[in-house]
Amino acid sequence: MEKKNTGTYYLMFISSMVIYGTIGIFRRYIPLSSGLLSFTRGLLGAASLFIFTYRTKGGLKKRLRGIPASKIAVLALCGVILGVNWIFLFEAFNYTTVAIATLCAYFQPIIVILLSPLIFRERLTPLRLGCAGAAIAGMVLLSGAFGQELPPTHSKGVALGLAAALCYATIVILNKKLTGVDGYDRTVIQLGSATLALLPYLLLTKGFSGVQLDGRAVLMLLIVGLVHTGFAYGLYFGSVEHLRAQSVAILSYLDPAVALLVSVTILKEPMSLLSLAGAVLIIGAALCSELFGNK
């Protein structure tokens, strides 16, 4: 197989971030509950990635034999939390703008920073503490605490976005303790676990009843499952290990940046100057911490 050059890996990673940033558009036009949408996304994403890894890397069952049961259990737990994370994020889209919901979910690095002294015994440096303070200030601006004209459901959307961030921070912390597991295998296990965990929830809440989708909604649902999950995850894991960690940290924030552009330009959702300032503080603080926090 021909070896890709670095530019190709950058293009793959950037493409995955741009795809992630557009998911809010599709959520707007898929008339499913957040639980059912998350279940379908996990099912389609896991199936497509499983087929991809089977064709390129051989059978998953054979590769799983080399992973200790304790690590598989942690990955399965991450999958369950991932399913809950999706539900919170998709629900946040229902109550506030796509931009604000996504930015709240990207509060995750700050949560990890604040928890790192307790979990990883890492020192909370003045720079990291300052970044956390700036991000919290940005979140206050996004919350509408200063009287911006925002939808009445906005506060609930912010809370759901922060709940998604907390879930994702938990996944990041658990994954930091896992080494020696292929990125594709890790993702297939987590997506599969998320799907299995959501199934009893949907059965208990009658989440499958009354589903009516037209052709456009079905197409968008397939795009979310196959493109935003299977294909985008494939691009991400096919490129991330070939790029510098600093480059990955910077380019990861294309996701909320694209979400903000999509929200304002395509969905025509409002974005006040105070909310924009909050967005800059959150993204800037997280980037600063990623790039300079260890120095």
Question: How many Cα atoms within 13 Å fall on the side-chain side of residue 224?
Answer: 26
How far, in Å, are 38, 72, 86, 195 from residue 225 at the CA level?
A: 9, 23, 12, 12
First to last CA, the chain: 39
**pTM for this entry:** 0.87
The pLDDT of residue 2 is: 45
Concatenating the DSSP letter of every residue in 170-210 gives HHHHHHHT--S--HHHHHHHHHHHHHHHHHHHHHHTTTTTT
Task: Give me the residue spans of the domains in the chain.
Answer: 6-292
Question: In this structure, are residues 212 and 95 in contact, taking their beta carbons and an 8 Å threshold?
Answer: no
Q: pLDDT (tens digit, 0 to 9) for every residue of the chain, 295 residues total?
A: 445 678 889 999 999 999 999 999 999 999 999 999 999 999 999 999 888 877 766 666 666 777 888 888 999 999 999 999 999 999 999 999 899 999 999 888 888 888 888 887 777 788 888 888 998 998 888 876 665 566 678 889 999 999 999 999 999 888 877 777 777 888 888 999 999 999 998 998 888 887 888 999 999 999 999 999 999 988 888 888 788 877 787 788 889 889 999 999 999 988 888 888 988 998 888 888 777 766 5
